[in-house]
Amino acid sequence: MTVAIIQARLGSTRLPGKVLRPLNGKPLIAHIIDRLSYCKKINAVILATTTKDTDNALADWCKVNNVKCFRGDENNILKRYYDTATEYKADIIVRVTADDPFKDPKVIDSVIELLKTEAVDFAFNNSPPSFPEGLDTEVFTYDAIKQAFEAETTDFEKEHVTQFFYHNPDKFKLSNFAYKKDFSHLRLTVDTEQDFELAEKIYEKLSPEGQMFYLDGILSLFEKEPELMDINKGVKRSAMYAK
């Protein structure tokens, strides 16, 4: 069983409450779940949030919208993933972060297929990065996350889930899925007001009535209206995204 687990909480430091903030008529998190529904190789989608009272609203939203929800450790996100995967009997886990409303189902399916065909423990598309930031895809086996959970991991590895895999290539079989051209300079994640403004513009232009669109549509839009890329050009990139 292949399960997409979305790590989400309302206490974002840079843009609090962004997960439930309306984007093109519905909460940002709803767009992520909708996009995952187009993946042909995912069997279930679980939102994994914390047990803090501040995340009750997120759990309530899941209940109202028939979204599976698991509540676990706030800071040890590795444990939250392991507990969620165990609860839902996942064989393969797709890691999804709740600030990326442009996840591409075709890319995700390709990374899942890579993991299966090459029989690796961990497949990804961001080391080295070639996709825009925000289209990162990481897929790993249940056995791999169990090994990471039972190991002596650092606080950094507990917070960032997959870093134990990257730090221990001798323990795991790894494989990177690269795009045909390097677009890693583009920023398609939502951490700031500028990011949210760009997301609104893209959804207004490509999905005015809720239509599905993919990376190629975004790239075509940027080619026609390059000024859009200036909206969040000054936002500092994540240190995790360094080449």
Q: How many CB atoms lie within 10 A of CB 154?
A: 11
Detail the DSSP E strand segments found in the chain.
Answer: 2-7, 22-23, 26-27, 44-50, 68-72, 92-97, 122-124, 138-141, 174-176
Spatial separation of the C-alpha atoms in residues 162 and 154, rounded to whole Å? 12
Given a cut of 80, whether residue 238 has pLDDT beyond it is: no
pLDDT in tens, 159-204: 999 999 999 999 999 999 999 999 999 999 999 999 999 999 999 9
Quote the tokens at residue 26.
């519905």
Least confident of 15-19, 149-153, 168-172: 15-19
Q: What's the average model confidence in pLDDT over 61-87? A: 96
- Mean pLDDT, residues 52-75: 95
Cβ 137 vs Cβ 124: under 8 Å? yes
